[in-house]
């Protein structure tokens, strides 16, 4: 017989109400007594009273006790809800005689309260029994002499009211718990701690035996216990159950609705997870932790006894689940932002920042543990060519494939990162000296070299690799990266598709290169690049028929800089197109002036790098500049090298063809240094061949050179090409060339490249046909 006292006298208004009631009763009793002539039969009197009370006070039970606390009346609908209440047994007994028939506590409180009432004190108490809460009030009933004659006891069933109050209190407690957890969620960035805190909040607030959070794996196959209360050690973070309808967690997550189990032994919807059964869990509530896109998992609480869970309990757990969802999403957003800040959006490889960070870590570790750290910078050879010719989408595709191949070729402890455009960096935090580093370089090169068949077509590449090994104590991530970069440039300069190890001489070169690039941008803006000219002589007449424009950099501090020093930088830095246009513009204007003043037939040839030709705007820009100048039609030639024809794409041929239709002549420069045969060159719309200086210099002294030059001239003439010899320095060379039938010549023998004013004088002289000029 469980009983519990839950309160003392209820509020004052109730007493006032009771006071009014006793007054009414007293009046009624007096009236009855009057009617039965003062000798009222107690039984009749009590029955009558009972009738009145029961009629007037539904939900209330009434006891009337005499001054010995003998029960005169004991009945009422409310009290009959208690199984131990028995009106017939109670009536006529002293309250003290109820010992053993009613709960001890109720008896004790009754006696003390009623005794006080006999002393004229109003009082009361609450008790809880059989799940019901009663409020008991005792009021002294006085006779005409104002002495206490009897005690009127009113017991009311306040279960509903109490439950409502308890519910409000519980809700308030739950709301506070949720608010508290919410505050914690905002403060912490540690998702693990939040999960643990959430479970604690859920279990302590609901007063259950245990609880936990299960997280759905990314592949959606498993649920892992990520936080728990009342679980065996070592289970959190490790224990997994398969995701599916068979267990309540999976069932809840799939339906997206809370699942309440009041008694697991009677559960039919699914088989509870074995670990729950092992824990002796009998009842539980599981709520889903949903999320936009991907759901996180479930939160559950459980008890070892059958137990019901109210809507409030479920709402409370759902509120916690929502908090977790918000925190998880915030966490995911933060992670995504952090990831984005440290990764390259195209390939998802670490970016420069993260690479430098990892490198710093490796360098630190190296100093502690004496291991070798290698940094490799890889640059895709002629990547810009592919990008310009096949489009950015193709370029992106190539980079993605390369990123994958590079990553697959290194160890998991190595880092592959994308520095910029077509530049990758590989950090090996533990290699065996230079040998180990070069082995990595070779492995990487063979992983990316070769044909690649992509949506955009077939591509073939090589990479140029620069290697730097952390050696000196003062090596920093930045200095290592710079060194590897310098070595990479050396590899490119030495013919691409190879690797170079950094050495000290490169450091100087690299710093110079960086300075040149920065200076060059300024130079282009300030017009520091000037076209100089070298006359081209007709070997038959000895007069200048055209000039070759050769760019010079008139650097404000360093003086004159030759093209070999800055043309490769301009090509790598993407400045060559702008540079080329500036030279072309100057050459066209200057030559138009010379045509006007000296020789209307004078031609000009301008050097064009391969990078320029494949740019889609190239031919339109050339045509626009030629149009703008007053250059006579048919007097402009472009000089291109064989490498332009080696490109995979057909676009150079198309571009050059359209330029030729426009009236431009095409000169193949440096002939003999490349691999192309004349037959292959027939595919291209050429007008002239320029024999490279290396053959010209030996034409008078070396039989092989002479043979090559002769064969070249003969074959060129056979296909209708004019032949120019460049780098003619001696009279002997000139004689030989003329004898072999060479058409035109240029070289120091006639004139060095010079600024326009100086050339004006030379041309004026040449127009008078004075040979040789020097
Ligand atoms: P290139 O087109 O083969 O130009 C001929 C180079 O030989 C020029 O060097 C010229 O000064 C040099 N040269 C001429 N005659 C003689 C000689 O008798 N003996 C010797 N030893 N050298 C002679 P430069 O001006 O230093 O130009 C070097 C290269 O730079 C050029 O080789 C060309 O490929 C490139 N270049 C020059 N100007 C431009 C330009 O405006 N645009 C582009 N894309 N490249 C240019
Ligand atoms: Ca040239
Ligand atoms: Ca040349």
The DSSP line for 59-125 is TEEEEEEETT-BEEEEE-TTGGGSTT--HHHHTTSBGGGGBTTB-HHHHHHHHHHHHHHHTT--EEE
SS3 content of the chain, % helix, strand, coil (to 5): 45, 25, 30
Q: Which residues, including other chains, have CB under 8 Å from residue 717's CB and lie 6 or more apart?
A: 723, 741
Structure tokens at 525: 């803006």
Per DSSP, the residues of 142-206 read E-TTS-EEEEEEEEEE-HHHHHHHHHHHHHHHHHHHHHHHHHHHHH---HHHHHHHHHHHHHHHH
Q: Is 756 in the pocket of ligand 1 (CB under 6 A)?
A: no
- The per-residue pLDDT for 32 is 52
Mutate to test the pocket of ligand 1, among 572, 607, 746, 762 (most ligand atoms within 8 A of CB): 607
Beta bridge partners of 559: 555
HSE value, Cβ hemisphere, 13 Å, CA-based, for 433: 1
Whole-model pTM? 0.50
- Residue 705 CA to its chain's centroid (Å): 61
CA 587, CA 54: separation in Å to the nearest integer?
Answer: 121
485 Cα–ligand 2 center, Å = 30
- The per-residue pLDDT for 649 is 47
Residue nearest to atom 42 of ligand 1 (CA): 607
Q: Is 564 in the pocket of ligand 1 (CB under 6 A)?
A: yes
691 Cα–ligand 1 center, Å = 13
726 Cα–ligand 2 center, Å = 9
Q: Mean pLDDT of residues grouped by 10 in the chain (774 residues)? A: 41 59 64 51 58 63 88 80 86 91 93 94 92 90 85 89 88 92 90 93 92 90 89 82 80 90 83 80 91 86 86 92 91 90 94 93 82 91 75 86 93 92 92 90 88 77 90 79 89 85 78 87 96 97 95 94 92 91 97 96 94 84 92 94 62 74 90 65 82 93 92 91 96 96 97 96 78 44
387 Cα–ligand 1 center, Å = 28
Structure tokens at 435: 């040998």
For residue 753, the ligand 1 atom closest to its alpha carbon is 11
Which pLDDT tens digit goes with each residue over 131-152?
889 999 998 988 888 888 889 8
Closest ligand to C-alpha of residue 673 is: 3
- Strand, coil or helix: what is 255? helix
Going by DSSP bridges, is the β-strand pair 544-555/603-607 parallel, antiparallel, or unpaired?
parallel
Q: Is 727 in the pocket of ligand 1 (CB under 6 A)?
A: yes
Query: In 351-391, where does DSSP find H-type helix?
Result: 352-369, 383-390
Q: Which residues, including other chains, have CB under 8 Å from residue 475's CB and lie 6 or more apart?
A: 363
**Before 772, cis peptide (omega within 30)?**
yes
CA 373, CA 147: separation in Å to the nearest integer?
Answer: 104
Q: Identify the CA nearest to 150 among candidates 60, 41, 73.
A: 73
- The per-residue pLDDT for 774 is 42
Which pLDDT tens digit goes with each residue over 475-507?
889 989 988 998 998 888 887 788 999 887 777
Q: Is 748 in the pocket of ligand 1 (CB under 6 A)?
A: yes
Residue nearest to atom 17 of ligand 1 (CA): 727
- Exposed / middle / buried, residue 61 (Cβ in 10 Å: 0-12, 13-18, 19+): buried
Beta bridge partners of 500: 466
- Strand, coil or helix: what is 710? helix
Residue nearest to atom 33 of ligand 1 (CA): 607
Q: Is 753 in the pocket of ligand 1 (CB under 6 A)?
A: yes
726 Cα–ligand 3 center, Å = 6
């Amino acid at each position: 017989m469980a009983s519990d006292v839950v309160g003392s006298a209820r509020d004052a208004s109730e007493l006032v109400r009771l006071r009014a009631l006793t007054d009414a009763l007293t009046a009624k009793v007096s009236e009855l007594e009057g009617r039965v002539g003062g000798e009222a039969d107690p039984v009749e009197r009590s029955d009558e009273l009972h009738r009145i009370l029961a009629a007037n006070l539904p939900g209330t039970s009434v006891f009337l006790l005499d001054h010995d606390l003998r029960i005169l009346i004991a009945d009422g609908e409310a009290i009959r809800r208690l199984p131990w209440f028995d009106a017939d047994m109670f009536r006529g007994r002293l309250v003290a005689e109820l010992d053993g028939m009613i709960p001890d506590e109720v008896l004790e409180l009754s006696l003390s309260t009623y005794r006080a009432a006999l002393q004229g004190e109003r009082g009361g108490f609450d008790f809880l029994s059989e799940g019901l809460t009663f409020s008991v009030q005792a009021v002294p009933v006085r006779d005409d002499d104002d002495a206490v004659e009897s005690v009127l006891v009113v017991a009311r069933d306040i279960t509903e009211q109490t439950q409502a109050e308890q519910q409000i209190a519980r809700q308030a407690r739950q709301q506070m718990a949720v608010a508290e957890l919410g505050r914690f969620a905002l403060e912490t960035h540690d998702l693990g701690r939040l999960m643990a805190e959430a479970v604690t909040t859920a279990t302590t607030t609901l007063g259950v035996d245990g609880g936990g959070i299960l997280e759905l794996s990314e592949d959606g196959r498993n649920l892992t216990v990520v936080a728990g209360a009342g679980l065996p050690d070592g289970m959190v973070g490790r224990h997994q159950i398969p995701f599916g309808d068979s267990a309540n967690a999976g069932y809840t997550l799939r339906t997206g609705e809370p699942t309440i189990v009041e008694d697991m032994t009677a559960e039919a919807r699914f088989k509870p997870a074995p670990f729950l059964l092992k824990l002796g869990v009998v009842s539980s509530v599981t709520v889903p932790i949903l999320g936009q896109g991907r759901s996180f998992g479930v939160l559950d609480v459980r008890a070892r006894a059958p137990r019901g869970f109210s809507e409030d309990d479920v709402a409370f757990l759902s509120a916690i689940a929502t908090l977790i969802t918000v925190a998880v999403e915030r966490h995911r957003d933060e992670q995504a932002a952090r990831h984005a800040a440290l990764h390259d959006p195209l390939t998802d490889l670490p970016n420069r920042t993260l690479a430098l960070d990892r490198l710093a870590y490796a360098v630190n570790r190296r100093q502690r543990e004496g291991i070798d750290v290698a940094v490799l910078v890889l640059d895709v050879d002629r990547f810009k060519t592919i990008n310009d010719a096949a489009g950015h989408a193709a370029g992106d595709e190539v980079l993605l494939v390369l990123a994958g191949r590079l990553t697959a070729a290194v160890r998991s402890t190595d880092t592959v990162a994308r520095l910029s455009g077509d530049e990758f960096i590989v950090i090996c935090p533990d290699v065996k000296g230079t040998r180990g580093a070069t082995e990595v370089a070779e492995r990487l090169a063979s992983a990316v070299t070769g044909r690649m068949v992509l949506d955009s077509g077939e591509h073939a590449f090589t990479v140029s690799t620069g290697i730097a090994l952390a050696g000196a104590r003062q090596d920093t991530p930045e200095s290592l990266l710079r060194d590897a970069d310098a070595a990479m440039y050396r590899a490119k300069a030495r013919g691409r598709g190879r690797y170079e190890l950094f050495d000290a001489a490169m450091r100087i070169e690299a710093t110079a290169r960086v300075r040149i690039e920065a200076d060059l941008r300024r130079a282009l803006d300030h017009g520091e690049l000037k076209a100089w000219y070298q006359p081209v002589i007709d070997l038959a007449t000895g007069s200048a028929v055209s000039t070759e424009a050769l760019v010079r950099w008139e650097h404000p501090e360093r003086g004159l800089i030759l093209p070999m020093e800055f043309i490769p930088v301009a090509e790598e830095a993407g400045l060559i197109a702008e540079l080329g246009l500036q030279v072309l513009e100057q050459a066209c204007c200057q030559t138009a002036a010379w045509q006007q003043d000296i020789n209307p037939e004078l031609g000009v040839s301008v050097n064009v790098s391969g990078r320029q030709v494949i740019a889609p705007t190239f031919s339109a820009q050339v045509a626009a500049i030629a149009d703008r100048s007053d250059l006579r039609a048919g007097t402009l030639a472009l000089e291109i090298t064989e490498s332009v024809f080696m490109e995979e794409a057909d676009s150079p041929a198309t571009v050059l063809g359209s330029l030729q239709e426009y009236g431009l002549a095409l000169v193949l420069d440096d002939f003999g240094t490349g691999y192309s045969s004349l037959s292959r060159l027939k595919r291209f719309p050429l007008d002239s061949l320029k024999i490279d200086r290396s053959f010209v210099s030996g034409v008078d002294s070396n039989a092989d050179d002479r043979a090559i030059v002769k064969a070249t001239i003969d074959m060129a003439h056979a296909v209708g090409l004019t032949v120019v010899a460049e780098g003619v320095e001696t009279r002997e060379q000139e004689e030989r060339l003329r004898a072999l039938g060479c058409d035109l010549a240029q070289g120091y023998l006639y004139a060095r490249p010079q600024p326009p004013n100086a050339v004006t004088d030379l041309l004026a002289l040449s127009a008078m046909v004075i040979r040789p000029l020097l």
